Every structure is written in C-alpha cells, then in structure tokens.
C-alpha cells in the first residue's frame, strides 16, 4: 500500500514522502539526486523494485518535487534524511537501509557517518568531493541522459536552488567513520557526470565491511537501473539479503 505523507525537519521545512507499506520488518529509504524527485518515472520504478521485498520510503529533498524549501547542495539536506530516518524509527522497523543516488548518495554517506540507526548502505554514483565532479558535456552518455530528461521519463524534474556556496562536508572526509555499517558502492563504467574513480576513492578509504561494483557500459545514477535492470536488482538484492534482512 502506497501512502503520500509529509513531515517537518528540525528547521521546520516540510518534506514530502511516499511510504510503500508492505508489512515488512525492514525498510529501505531512497535518497534521490540533484534535479530528481520521488515522482520521476525511473525513481518510482526503483521504489517499486525495492517494495517487492521491503517496505520503502521515497522522499523529496528540500527544493525538489513536492517538498518545501530551497536546495543547498547537501548543506541542509542531511536534516531531510535524518527526519525520514526518525520517522522510520517511530514506525518500529527492525532494520533501516538507505539507498542514495548521486548527490543523494553523498548525503547518505555524510548522515550515515554519525547516525547509528542506519543498518545498511547502498550508494550509487557518489562524488567523493563536489569540487571534483566531472561535466563532460560532449560525451554520448550525456546526450542520452538529456534525451531521457526531455522525454516522459524526466517528467516533473527540476530544482529550486538556495545558497549553493555554503560550506559542505566532503564524503571522502567521513567515510572512514562508517564502520561497522556495511557499505556497497555501485558505479556506472560510462558515467559521464561523476567518473568511477570517485567511488574507487571512497571505497579505498572506507573500512570493512564494504564492497564495490562497477557496472559495465552503464551511465549515471538511475540510468544504471534503466539500462541494466536485472543486474542492478540482483546486486542490490544480494547485498540487502546479506546485510539487512532480518532472520526469521
């Protein structure tokens, strides 16, 4: 059963989220990337994929979709994820996993470095440092991504930007604090926006338990799911069965 709800963060920003309630003991929280939202075609499909085996909470970061506020490039977005995690705890889930994409993955790592409630982590196309993001606009994969956003699959995408120059935490500076939380890094080999070396650097600095998976011929973030559904689903399923599933 899917229910659309809202909650307020510590700074009173209203955050919109969908709860896919399937009667499970574990919940997956989905954190989208820049310019995306929970109602975008691919993100809804990803939520539906995870809801086959887990309860799911998919939310809009501030400045995106149906949430209030303005986007601050991860400076305040930690509060959004923290509020969703608190909601999940109040619903008495036995285990909480977070799956983040792109900048949502960066927020996931930053929050997970100090939030003991998170039991398992999957981060997809994560930048290790926002100043090192690659914008290769001439590459074929970028043109394919643009076509996707211009078509029906990109319906509803957009952003309401705030102060983008606020001081930001670099994911590379906090990943050594994630242990003992298990972390899976997924990256597309052909990611045009954030090259695979970002995940490699993060993986190298992260302590065990950890794993990295570079998907051959795959692009950025949710495009990995779009072009390699079965592979992406199996990678996530295996990891969550190992690190999140409550033994009955």
Backbone angles phi, psi at 56, to 5 degrees: -135, 140
Mean pLDDT in residue range 237-247: 91
According to DSSP, the residues that pair with 184 across neighbouring strands are 122, 211
d(CA 237, CA 144): 27
Burial 56-68 (b: 16+ CB within 10 A, else e): bbbbbbbbbbbbb
Helix, strand or coil, per DSSP, at residue 188: strand
- What local confidence, expressed as pLDDT, does residue 155 receive? 55
Q: Does a structural domain hold residue 248?
A: no
Which residue matches tokens 């052909």?
190
181-235 per-position pLDDT tens digit:
999 999 999 998 899 999 999 999 999 999 999 999 999 999 999 999 999 999 9
Q: Does a structural domain hold residue 192?
A: yes
Which stretches of 7-125 are DSSP H helices? 41-50, 77-90, 103-112
Q: Does a structural domain hold residue 156?
A: yes
- What local confidence, expressed as pLDDT, does residue 131 receive? 72
Mean pLDDT in residue range 123-131: 92
CATH no. for residue 220? 3.40.50.1820
- What local confidence, expressed as pLDDT, does residue 93 receive? 98
Q: Does a structural domain hold residue 62?
A: yes
Under the phi-then-psi rule, with left for phi > 0, alpha for psi from -120 to 50, and beta for the rest, what region is 63? left
For residue 75, the tally of other CB atoms under 10 A from its CB is 17
114-126 per-position pLDDT tens digit:
999 999 999 999 9
- What local confidence, expressed as pLDDT, does residue 149 receive? 54
Q: Does a structural domain hold residue 97?
A: yes
Average pLDDT, the chain: 91
Q: Total structural domains in the chain?
A: 1
- What local confidence, expressed as pLDDT, does residue 83 receive? 99
The parent domain of residue 181 ranges over: 2-243
Q: Does a structural domain hold residue 53?
A: yes
d(CA 15, CA 64): 9
d(CA 72, CA 1): 32
Which residue matches tokens 């977070």?
98
For residue 214, the tally of other CB atoms under 10 A from its CB is 14
């Amino acid at each position: 059963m899917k229910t659309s709800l809202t909650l307020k963060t510590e700074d009173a920003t209203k955050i919109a989220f969908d709860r896919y309630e399937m009667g499970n003991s574990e919940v997956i929280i989905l954190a989208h990337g820049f310019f995306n939202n929970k109602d975008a075609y691919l993100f809804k499909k990803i939520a539906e994929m995870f809801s086959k085996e887990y309860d799911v909470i998919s939310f809009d970061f501030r400045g995106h979709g149906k949430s209030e506020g303005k986007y601050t490039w991860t400076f305040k977005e930690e509060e959004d994820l923290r509020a969703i995690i608190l909601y999940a705890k109040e619903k008495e889930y036995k285990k909480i996993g977070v799956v983040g994409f792109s900048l949502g993955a960066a927020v996931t790592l930053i929050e997970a470095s100090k939030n003991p409630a998170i039991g398992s982590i999957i981060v997809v196309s994560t930048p290790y440092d926002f100043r090192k993001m690659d914008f290769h606009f001439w590459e074929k994969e970028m043109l394919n991504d643009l076509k996707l956003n211009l078509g029906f699959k990109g319906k509803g995408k957009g952003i309401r930007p705030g102060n983008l120059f606020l001081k930001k935490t670099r994911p590379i500076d906090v990943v050594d604090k994630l242990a003992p939380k298990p972390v899976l890094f997924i990256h597309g080999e052909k990611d045009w926006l954030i090259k695979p070396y970002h995940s490699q650097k993060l993986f190298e600095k992260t302590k065990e338990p950890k794993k990295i998976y570079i998907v051959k011929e795959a692009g950025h973030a949710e495009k990995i799911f779009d072009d390699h559904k079965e592979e992406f689903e199996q990678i996530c399923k295996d990891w969550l069965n190992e690190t999140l599933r409550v033994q009955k």
